[in-house]
Structure 1
Amino acid sequence: MAEITLTDYLLLPVYLWLIYKIAYFYRKKYYPKGHPYQSYFIPALTVKIAGAISIGLIYNYYYSGGDTFNFFYHSQIINSTFMRSPHAWFSLITHRADSNDLVASKALSDMYWYDDIPAYTTSCIGALIGMFCFTKYLVINVIVASLSFIGSWLFFVQYARQYPNLIRYVAIAVLFMPGPIIWGSGLFKDSFCLFAIGCLVYCIYVLFERREFKISLVLLLSVSVMLLILIKAYILILLLPLVFLKTLLVYRKQLSNYYENRLPYYIVMFIITVSLFFIVRRVSHRVSAEAVQTTLETIKRQKDYLLHVSLLSDGSAYDLGDFDPTLGSILSKFWPAVNVTLFRPYVWESRSVMEFFNSFESLGMLLLTLYLLVSRNIFKTVKNIITDPTLIMCLLFVLAFSFVVGVSTYNFGSLSRYRIPGIPFFMLFVLVLLFKDRPAAAPAAAEGNEVAAEAQPVS
C-alpha cells in the first residue's frame, strides 16, 4: 500500500513555499549580498530538500517500503490517538503509555518498535512534525530535511570561520556530499543525528572557544546531546570527548601566544588529568570484567547474525573475517573496518542501483585520499595535522567512528546510512590538508566583509 498519497502532492508546494519564504528571510538578514556564505545557503537547502523528496519517492515506488516508512507508520499511529485522547497521545510521545488506557493500549498493540528507543524516538519526532502538516509523509520529509540542513549549516559556519580561505572546500565537505544529502535528509535516524552533531560542535565552539555565552546555545546544545543519547549514543561517546580535546588544544595555542612560558596550560592540564584519573577510577569499579566480556560476546553474536541475515536477504553483505569475542581479536579488524566504512562498496561489489550510487561516493573519497598521499609531502602533512586541533579531532573521530560502524554492520545497504555522520569530518580532513597551503583565492576585502557581516545563526 502506497504511503505517499495525492494529499502529499497537494500540500507539498504549500510547505515548500513556506520553508523557502523563511529561508530567504533568514539569508537576507544574516547573509546579505556580498557575504561569503550567501551563495551557499539556498543551494545547500535545496539539495537537502531534493534528497528528502527523492529518497521518499524511491522507497515508495521502487522498494515499496523500508525503514523510513516504518518510522512514518508509527508516527501515524501516535497521531491517530490525538483526537480521541490528547492524554494518550502525550503519554505515547513521552514513552509513558499506560496499557490500562484503552486508546493507548490499542496504539501499543499496533506498534512493534515501542521498546526500541532509537527507532521510537525517530517516530515520535516524526509525529510531532506531523502535527503541523496533517501527518503527511512527503511534507514531514522536507521538514526533517530542513532541520538536518540547520545542523549541517551550523557545522559549515563554524569551519568556514576557521578556514576563511577554504570556504568552497568546507562547503563541499559539509553541505554537498551525496551520501548525507540522500540518506541524511528524510525521516531517518541519521537525519536527526546530522542535526544534533552540527549543533553540538557549533555550540561548543561558540560557548567555549569564542566564549560567547547565550542561553539559546545552551538549550540547543542540551537538545543535541539528548537526541544523540536517545538515537545513537555511541556517536556522542566518540565525539564529545574529541570536541573538548580540540577546545583544549585551541586553549593551548592561545596560551602559547599570550605567555612566553606555558605554565598556565600545564596547570590546567594537570587538573584535568587528575580529575579524569579519579573519574576513570570511579567508573572502573562499576565496570566488571564480566560486563566487558559480555559486551564483546554480544558484538560477536551480532556480527554472526547480521552477516547471516544479509546473506539470506539481498546478498549485499560484506565479511571482515572471523574473530573471537576478545578485545584483541576485535581490534585486529580495525583497519579492515575503517576501510569498509570509508571506501566500500567498490564499484564491482555493487548489487543494486543504490549500491552502485554509493560506490561512486566511496570511489571519490578513495581517490582523494590516494591523491593526498601521493601529492603532498608526508612530513609536512603530519606537521599540518599535529598543529591543527580541528584536523586532530577529525582524524580521531573518523578512525573511531569508522571502526565502530564497519565492525558492526555487515551490510552495504545499511552501511551507506550508518556512515554518513563521519563523511563531513573525513572530507573536511582531506580537503583542508589538500588545499590548506594554497594562497587565498579571495581578496582581503572579502575576508573583511566576512568578519564585519559575520552572522549569529542562533541568537
Structure 2
Amino acid sequence: MDIKDFLLTPFYLGLIYALAFALRPAVTNVYTKKYFIPALSLKVLGAIALGILYHTIYAGDTNNYFHHGEIIYKAFGNSFGAGWELLTTNGTLTARIEPYTSQMAWFGKGSNEYFVVRMAGLGAILGFNTYSVTALLFAVVSFSGMWAMYITFAKIRPQVYKELATAVFFLPSVFFWGSGLLKDSLCIGALGWLFYAFYRGAIEKKNIVRCLVIGILAASTISSMKIYILLAFVPPAALWVLNENTARIQSTAVRWVAKPFLLLVGAGIAIYAMGAIAAADARFNLDKIGEQSKLTATYLQGVSQTENGSGYNIGEQDGTLAGMAKLAPQAVVVALFRPFLWEARNPTMALSALEATYFIVLTGRILFRVGLAKTLKAISSTPVLTLCFVFSLIFAISVGISSGNFGTLVRYKIPLMPFYLAGLYILESITQPVAARSRRVAARQPQLA
C-alpha cells in the first residue's frame, strides 16, 4: 500500500456507495432493505482489513495476486495488444507476452491462480494500480453474488429472513476471507449467483435465458479456480431442482410414478455434469480424487508446522476413495465444529472457533428439541434443506480431509458456512412452528425482490 491507496480509496468508496444507494430500490424490499448497506459495508471492511493484515503481518496470496495484476497493468501501458492478450489468453505463450509472463509464476495452461490474476489485472486497470481499490472491487463482485444468495434463501423461506441475513452476511470468517483480493471472494460470489440461477431459472422458471447465462458464467468462474466446489454443489443442486419440480405435481399417483423416472434423469444429468467438470481438471477424476486429497493434505500439514500449532490430524490417508470414506466422519466434525475454543492460537482462529461453537450449539439445540428422526425427516422432505445439508456434508468431507491445518481450513470452508447455517435456521423454523410464529414474520409472508 502507498499514498495512492489513501488518495483514491475514499473516491472509489464514494462511487461504490452512490451506486449501491441507486441500485438498492431495485434489489430490495421493505424487509431486506435494511441489510443491503450494512452487508456491503462489512464486505468493504473485510477487504480492507484483510489487506492490512497481509501487508503488515503476513505475506501471501493477496500480495502475489496484486503483483501479477500490476504486471498486466504495466503491459497495457507499454502495449495495449500485449495487455489485452494477457487478459484474454488461454495460457499459450507468445512472443508478445513472454517478457511479462516470465515474471509471472502463476502463468500457464491449467493454472487455477491465473483467473484471479486476470481479475486483479482488470482491477488494477480500473483502480490505477492501487491495491485497496482492487480489493474493494473484489469485495463488490463478491457482495453481488452473496446478495443474490440471500434473496434466494429469503424467497424460499421468508419467515426467517433476519436469521438468513446472519447466515449469509454476518459470519466473521465469511466476510473477512470472502471479501478481499483472494480467489475465495470470487468463488463465494459466483456460488451465490449459481444458486440464484438454479432457483430462478430451473425452479421458478423465470428469465430462463438470463439465468442460463448467469449459471454458465458463474460455473465457469468457479471451475477456473476451485473446481471441487462445483463437484460438491452440482449433484445436490440437481436433486434440489428435481424434488422441487416433482413436489409441484398435483396428482399423488402421477407424482409417485414420475418421481423414479425424474430421479433417474436427474442422476444422469448430475453424473454427466460431474464427469464434464472433472474432465476439465485431471486431478479431480474419480480415480484420482483420493490421491490428490492426500497430496494436498500432506503439503498443508507441512505448512502447518510453521503456523504455531495450527495443524490437525484426523487419520492417515492412503490416497484412495475408500480411505477418504473412512475419514469422512472426522472430516465433517473438523470442518463444521472445529477449531474448538481451546484450540485457537491467534485472533483469526479465535473467530473461527466462536463460529464453530455457535454451529455446535444451534445444531445440538435443534437435535435435542426436535429429535434425530424428525430432523432427518424434515431434511429429506424439504428440498432446500436437502440441498443445504448434502452440499455442506460433501464439502465438509472434502475440505476437512484435505486441509490439514486450521489456518487453511477457515478459508477453504467458507462456501459451506452460509448454506449450513441457513439450513439450520430454515430447519428450526419448520420443525418448531410455534417459535417461528412468535417472531410474527410468518403471517407477513413478504414477497422478496
> Quick check: TM above 0.5?
yes
Displacement of 1:222 after TM fit?
A: 1.6
2:56 aligned with 1:61: yes
2:108 aligned with 1:111: no
Greater alpha carbon shift after TM alignment, 266-275 vs 330-339: 266-275
Residue aligning to 2:42: 47
Gaps of 5+ in 2: none
2:11 aligned with 1:17: no
Residues 138-180 of structure 1 deviation map (CA, whole Å, 9 limit, x = unaligned) = 1111121111111111111011011111111111111211111
Residue aligning to 1:252: 246
Q: Rg larger in 1 or in 2?
A: 1
CA distance in 1, matches of 2:149, 2:266: 29
Residue aligning to 2:177: 183
Displacement of 1:427 after TM fit?
A: 0.3
CA distance in 2, matches of 1:343, 1:235: 20
Q: Give the alignment of 1:65-214 within 5 angstroms.
A: 65-96=59-90, 99=93, 101=95, 104-115=97-108, 117-214=111-208
CA distance in 2, matches of 1:105, 1:97: 11
In the alignment, is the contact (CA less than 8 A) between 2:146 and 2:192 conserved in 1?
yes
Gaps of 5+ in 1: none
Q: Which amino acid aligns with 1:346?
A: F
Q: Which amino acid aligns with 1:19?
A: I
> What SS class does the counterpart of residue 118 from structure 1 fall into?
coil
| TM-score (normalizing by structure 1) | 0.88
| Structure 1 residues 444 and 11: CA distance shift in structure 2, 3 A | same
CA distance in 1, matches of 2:259, 2:31: 38
Residue aligning to 1:360: 354
Residue aligning to 2:390: 396
| Structure 1 residues 224 and 293: CA distance shift in structure 2, 3 A | closer
RMSD of the TM alignment (CA)?
2.6
| Structure 1 residues 273 and 194: CA distance shift in structure 2, 3 A | closer
> What SS class does the counterpart of residue 245 from structure 1 fall into?
helix
Displacement of 1:53 after TM fit?
A: 1.1
Q: How many residues align?
A: 437
Greater alpha carbon shift after TM alignment, 177-186 vs 380-389: 380-389
Displacement of 1:419 after TM fit?
A: 0.4
In the alignment, is the contact (CA less than 8 A) between 1:98 and 1:105 conserved in 2?
no
Residues 9-50 of structure 1 deviation map (CA, whole Å, 9 limit, x = unaligned) = 111111111111111111134435xx2111111111111111
| Structure 1 residues 403 and 262: CA distance shift in structure 2, 3 A | same
CA distance in 1, matches of 2:270, 2:102: 48
In the alignment, is the contact (CA less than 8 A) between 2:247 and 2:255 conserved in 1?
no
Displacement of 1:429 after TM fit?
A: 1.4
| TM-score (normalizing by structure 2) | 0.90
Displacement of 1:266 after TM fit?
A: 3.7
CA distance in 1, matches of 2:257, 2:41: 47
Residues 392-427 of structure 1 deviation map (CA, whole Å, 9 limit, x = unaligned) = 111111111001001111121111111000001110
2:421 aligned with 1:427: yes
Residue aligning to 2:343: 349
Q: Which amino acid aligns with 2:21?
A: Y
CA distance in 1, matches of 2:379, 2:267: 27
Displacement of 1:182 after TM fit?
A: 0.3
| Structure 1 residues 202 and 277: CA distance shift in structure 2, 3 A | closer
Q: Which amino acid aligns with 2:9?
A: L
| Structure 1 residues 215 and 131: CA distance shift in structure 2, 3 A | farther
Q: Which amino acid aligns with 1:171?
A: A
CA distance in 2, matches of 1:152, 1:94: 26
CA distance in 2, matches of 1:370, 1:85: 60
CA distance in 1, matches of 2:395, 2:264: 28
> What SS class does the counterpart of residue 381 from structure 1 fall into?
helix
| Percent identity over paired residues | 30
